Amino acid sequence: MRFADTTALKIAMIEASRAIIAAEPELTRVDSVIGDGDHGIGLIEQLSENNFSTPYDLFHAVGLCLVKSMGGSSGVLFGTLFISGLEEIKDKDSLNGVDMAAFLSGGIQGVIRRGRANPGDKTMVDALLPAESEMNSALKSTDDLGQVLKAAHKGALSGVESTKNMVSRLGRSKNFREQVIGWPDPGAMSVSILLGGLANSLSQD
Ligand code: ADP
Ligand code: MG
């Protein structure tokens, strides 16, 4: 899909929420302290019950809902991911790959500003930065929304793999020290599932 309007984006967000819910057992196993998997449920309710007139309104609501329903630092950071890039899509009725990349990059920069994670700290940033870089490479040859999201997903997946060898330097899992080696970061996993859900939904023509 080259462009997506608010309705298509809402459907894609619902699909991404479903993907996160489906991964809940795995996410919970990895993040055994809190179980990051249950935030998808609140999101589906919020999305289904409301109408949004623009992509801006939709993603703004998604961001607020994530802060509220997930809670904790990951709720704030996922909320920031959807809120920090909103200026980039202001006044747009539909988004193509270029718009989506600008929106996500703004969100990623926001997450880094807020959480102050460096690459290698074993956080969602280790999925977000490779997602951004794959997305930017894809933009050199296409402005297709589905293609750009697929590239972002691919980058995130390789980022998740890379977190397996990292020791946490931030967040609660830092207390587990070397025990975390071999396990992917749950926040990075959530990022890749989210991008995968969006890419799946928005790649269909
Ligand atoms: P919560 O308070 O939500 O339980 P955690 O400490 O369990 O927070 O972290 C959840 C996820 O959030 C981690 O897997 C990591 O990806 C991400 N995270 C935690 N702290 C930061 C940070 N400062 N910057 C970026 N991401 C972070
Ligand atoms: Mg946690």
Q: Which ligand gives the minimal distance to the CA of 35?
A: 2
Ligand 1 pocket: which of 33, 34, 67, 73 to mutate (most atoms within 8 A of CB): 73
Q: Would you call 53 exposed, middle or buried from its count of C-beta atoms within 10 A (0-12, 13-18, 19+)?
A: exposed
The model's pLDDT over 75-108, given as tens digits with 9 standing for 90+, comes to 999 999 999 999 999 999 999 999 999 999 999 9
Atom of ligand 1 nearest to the CA of 186: 14
Using alpha carbons, list the distances in angstroms from residue 77 to 1, 68, 83, 104, 106: 28, 11, 10, 13, 13
φ/ψ of residue 154, rounded to 5? -60, -45
pLDDT value of residue 36: 65
Specify the pTM.
Answer: 0.94
Domains of the chain: 3-202 (1.25.40.340)
146 Cα to the center of ligand 2, angstroms: 31
pLDDT value of residue 146: 98
pLDDT at 32 over 80: no
The residue ranges of DSSP E strands in the chain, in sequence order, are 4-5, 94-95
